Amino acid sequence: MDKKAIEAVALSIRSLSMDAIQKANSGHPGLPLGAAEAAAVLYGEVMKHNPANSKWADRDRFVLSAGHGSMLLYSILHLAGYKVTMDDIKSFRQVGSHCPGHPEYGDTDGVECTGGPLGQGVSMAVGMAVAESMLAAKFNTPKHTIVDHYTYSLVGEGCLQEGVASEACSLAGNLKLGKLIVFYDENKISIDGCTDITFTDDIKMRYESYGWQVLRGDMYDVEGMAKLVAEAKACSDKPSLIMLKSIIGKGAPKQNTADVHGAPLGAEGIIEAKKTLGLPTDKDFYVVPEAYKYFEDKKAEFAKAEADWNATFDAWAKENPELKKLWDAYHSDAATAEVSDVEYKVGDACATRDASGKALNVIAERFANLVGGSADLMGPNKTAFKCDNGTFSPANRAGRTIEYGIREFAMSAVCAGISLHGGLRPFCATFLVFADYLRPSLRVVSLMKQPVIYVFTHDSIYVGEDGPTHQPIETMASLRAIPGVQAIRPGDPEESMQAWNMAYASKDHPVCMAFTRQALAVYEKADKNWKENMATKGAYVVQDAANPDITILASGSEVNMALKAASLANGKSIRVVSVPDLAKFASLCPCEQEKIIGNPKRVVCTEAGISTEWLQFAKKEDCFCIDRFGTSGPANKVAEYLGFTAEKLAEILNK
């Protein structure tokens, strides 16, 4: 190790970070000043990467979980030779900048994920480590190893306090993810002061109880840090937490205090810090020449690492043509087998969760890269694979089923990491009402435009006896409210199969599907082009009427209710429209909506949830919805108690 060069890189990180934050008059200097050595050692001496190609498949991944310290990441990416220019650094936190306030996936070359909300970054890193081990089991051969990389993350005090990190790290220990190495920037400071006011956990004992190897060191002993990484790598059956004692805001006048965490140092503070650190006080955005030279000299080494891998990959591909075809299919979401959709006859009846389970297995046979599981609800969610290789575990890295345990938030974040890694398509599942537990991750998944698939079952008051805590009322509306999230509520088993086709076809957004516990009959569909219209318009005509007196817009189980209610209407001409994807239907131009609705005298809407979103189509009195919590009892009795029956809907139609 060239210790002097590493120190020059760390000093340059501090220089760029404090000046960028000062110029923006916004940002968090504490972490970049305090943890610069970690970035310098990782990118200079530890990680297998090539800045000339940030998408190299077998690169090591680095996730800055403590995303508020983003200037640490932008600085090292710039110095290492990624496509982060000095102008980018100087435009930190400005509109349109490639250096936004927190790392955003897709905005900056070399940034592996959106790492803003604390705890989610390290949880996504767990997913990346899962993906690496799955792909290694699938594609490595005795002669050629083409998947062999590590996932690194840097966490701060806040990450370790957030529950999602605890969920994910517990899972990582259970899965014995030995290629996950996490650095803990242990400075004992958060926004409100010393962490002792709220956070006195014994982190070493906590992580050892999760099944991690825990190592201790000094952030400023760069050679010692490299030795700790080597020790972490030597332990193949445990993830490693490397606890590094550090000084937040190192070199600043207010180092080691909360004041340096999240505010610019100020003009005088910058001068004092530069004097302390030995930086020129008359130069902004100064880079120590040795730092640039160090990475310039590393270019050939970085390029050779990728070139060597390419040669190995080419030899592997030549000797394993079928595996190569599969690799290409995995990384392009291409079908690996021809499998027909599940077919139903009109009148067939089953819970749409059962129909979803059948559809899932069709998709799993068709696309070999589908992996996933549920939050300890595989049976109720109907998410068991019939064509898999068992459960993913330390003893079976080839398994396609992931047992997440009761960890909904981490489950979603891990799926995000799997998706970001590339090569695999993840899904996860739980009851619809528990979407609230994973909603913060779903929001970030949507921000990153990742096509994670979410299976939600037990979608309404028809959960029944479990009562109002388990009966979702506002949940579908809350999912539809997240920009970029596609929420689908199929009305019968046929629509459930099509929902899965739609979900897998999505490439740039997450898809949430909500399925019933109770049986629903397959209904005849007046629109013979219904599959395409469901996918492209979000709605289609189930029961036609040329000049309808009333058009009923319904989603999910309420389509069957609407058909029954229409049969009870007194001589009225009624069109029934299924609206599995309300947001897509609402986004259509009025003329396209009118083609489906049919210019009736009245529009009536029904869904076993709140009426808020349906008010754009009908008057309040014509929205047959549920704007209150449910109650405990058998499903049909609950519906009767709430007055949510076809007979009551017919009364509205007959007004």
Which residues have a catalytic role annotated? 408
If one counts every other C-beta atom within 10 angstroms of the C-beta of residue 391, the result is 15
pTM: 0.98
Which pLDDT band holds residue 590 (cuts at 50, 70, 90)? very high
Q: What is the pLDDT of residue 221?
A: 98
Q: How many CA atoms lie within 13 A of 507 on its CB side?
A: 6
Residue 169 reports pLDDT greater than 90: yes
- Going from the C-alpha of 626 to that of each of 211, 514, 580, 620, 650, the distances in angstroms are 46, 17, 18, 12, 16
DSSP state, residue 433: G
Q: What is the pLDDT of residue 553?
A: 98
What mean pLDDT is predicted for residues 39-64?
98
Q: Measured between alpha carbons, how far is 386 from 406 in angstroms, rounded to an integer?
A: 23
Instruction: Dig out the tokens for 575 from the structure.
Output: 């069109």
What mean pLDDT is predicted for residues 576-589?
98
If one counts every other C-beta atom within 10 angstroms of the C-beta of residue 99, the result is 28
pLDDT digits (tens, 9 = 90+) for 297-306: 999 999 999 9
What mean pLDDT is predicted for residues 517-543?
98
Of 159, 145, 4, 148, nearest to 68 by C-alpha is 159
Amino acid, res. 101: G
Q: Measured between alpha carbons, how far is 313 from 398 in angstroms, rounded to an integer?
A: 20
Which pLDDT band holds residue 253 (cuts at 50, 70, 90)? very high
Residue 570 reports pLDDT greater than 90: no
Q: What is the pLDDT of residue 609?
A: 98
Residue 571 reports pLDDT greater than 90: no
CB 384 within 8 A of CB 374: no
pLDDT digits (tens, 9 = 90+) for 443-501: 999 999 999 999 999 999 999 999 999 999 999 999 999 999 999 999 999 999 999 99
Residue 309 reports pLDDT greater than 80: yes
Q: Give the position of tokens 């590393």.
A: 298
pLDDT digits (tens, 9 = 90+) for 105-119: 999 999 999 998 999
What average pLDDT is seen over the chain?
97
